[in-house]
């Protein structure tokens, strides 16, 4: 009589910015795929509601960690606490973001600083922890939710676009550094997604998709170890065109 093979430990995904939007949708998607989840965001009640919903539908308990991503000093210890609680980490997703409405004649450093800190500096704080851990392990997945806004500097909201451009570049640098250690780094560039962040910024846009569609694209890209995706995919061709518009023409455009 042969013994049965040991049960595999379910993979663990850490989602930073899990309380709403793409982060919450991705939590549901990964839970459906059998992941155990560590969910982080500022709003405890939103995290508790999400975890309760997931736990009612899946066998694996989701753990919540209320956290302000701009509390940079707390990040290393919290990463280690999550690792100790979960026993392992296989995927780290940075989905936290903020988009303040900014008029074309407005230069508000407080808004700009908040967008730079949440969208870029805090992402580096968290993904740097993930990179160090995965490099040591020789495996793992890093996922950063960037934006089509980072592909070129447009008239609207310079600081937000700068933050996303910086995140895209940072993720590429991580990819080039970590690929030799068998670590997968995925850059996600959504267009307009129907999230609270978009609504807070005025709700304008075209090709608007639900967060569940973006989450499905991200989960598929993790499985296939894609490097860069646009969601929806047609944004790739639009942004390729925009990137090649001569500067003297591009600066006259209003979008």
pLDDT tens sequence across 15-62: 999 999 999 999 999 999 999 999 999 999 999 999 999 999 998 889
- Selected catalytic residue, list 35, 133, 160, 170: 160
Q: How far apart are CA 36 and CA 86, in angstroms?
A: 8
pLDDT given at position 2? 42
In a domain, 85, yes or no: yes
In a domain, 234, yes or no: yes
pLDDT given at position 60? 85
Q: In which domain, by residue range, is 230 found?
A: 12-250
In a domain, 3, yes or no: no
Q: Which two tokens stand for residue 185?
A: 């780094």
Q: How far apart are CA 39 and CA 174, in angstroms?
A: 23
Q: Which two tokens stand for residue 177?
A: 């550094």
Find tokens 């993904």 and name the residue. 127
pLDDT given at position 221? 98
pLDDT given at position 4? 38
Give pTM, 2 decimals.
Answer: 0.93
pLDDT given at position 133? 98
In a domain, 88, yes or no: yes
Cα–Cα nearest to 150, from 117, 187, 185, 195: 187
Query: What is the per-residue pLDDT across 161-186, written as a single tens digit (0 to 9) for each?
Result: 999 999 999 999 999 999 999 999 99
In a domain, 77, yes or no: yes
Q: How far apart are CA 197 and CA 101, in angstroms?
A: 10
pLDDT given at position 6? 42
Q: How far apart are CA 116 and CA 97, in angstroms?
A: 9
Q: How far apart are CA 137 and CA 83, in angstroms?
A: 13
Domain count, the chain: 1
Q: Which residues of the chain have pLDDT under 70?
A: 1-7, 200-204, 254-255
Q: How far apart are CA 136 and CA 213, in angstroms?
A: 33
160 is catalytic: yes
Cα–Cα nearest to 228, from 165, 167, 185: 185
CATH number of 47's domain: 3.40.50.720
In a domain, 5, yes or no: no
pLDDT given at position 253? 77
Q: How far apart are CA 16 and CA 42, in angstroms?
A: 10
Q: How far apart are CA 193 and CA 209, in angstroms?
A: 5
In a domain, 211, yes or no: yes
Q: How far apart are CA 49 and CA 45, in angstroms?
A: 6
In a domain, 243, yes or no: yes
């Amino acid at each position: 009589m042969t013994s049965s093979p040991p049960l595999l430990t379910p993979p663990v995904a850490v989602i930073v910015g899990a309380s709403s939007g793409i982060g919450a949708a991705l939590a549901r998607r990964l839970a459906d795929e059998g992941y155990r989840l560590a969910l982080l965001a500022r709003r405890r009640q939103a995290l508790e509601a999400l975890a309760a919903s997931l736990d009612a539908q899946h066998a694996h308990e989701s753990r919540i960690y209320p956290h302000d991503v701009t509390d940079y000093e707390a990040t290393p210890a919290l990463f280690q606490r999550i690792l100790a609680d979960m026993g392992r980490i296989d995927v780290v997703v940075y989905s936290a973001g903020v988009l303040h409405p900014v008029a074309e004649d407005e230069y508000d450093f407080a808004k700009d600083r908040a967008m730079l800190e949440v969208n870029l500096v805090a992402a580096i704080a968290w993904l740097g922890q993930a990179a160090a851990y995965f490099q040591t392990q020789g495996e793992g997945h890093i996922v950063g939710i960037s934006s089509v806004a980072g592909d070129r500097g447009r008239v609207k909201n310079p600081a937000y676009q700068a933050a996303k451009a910086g995140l895209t570049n940072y993720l590429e640098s991580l990819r080039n550094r970590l690929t030799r250690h068998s670590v997968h780094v995925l850059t996600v560039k959504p267009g307009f997604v129907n999230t609270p962040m978009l609504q807070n910024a005025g709700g304008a846009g075209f090709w608007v998709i639900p967060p569940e569609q973006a989450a499905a694209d991200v989960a598929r890209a993790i499985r296939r170890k894609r490097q860069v995706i646009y969601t929806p995919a047609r944004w790739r061709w639009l942004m390729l065109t925009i990137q090649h518009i001569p500067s003297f023409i591009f600066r006259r455009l209003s979008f």
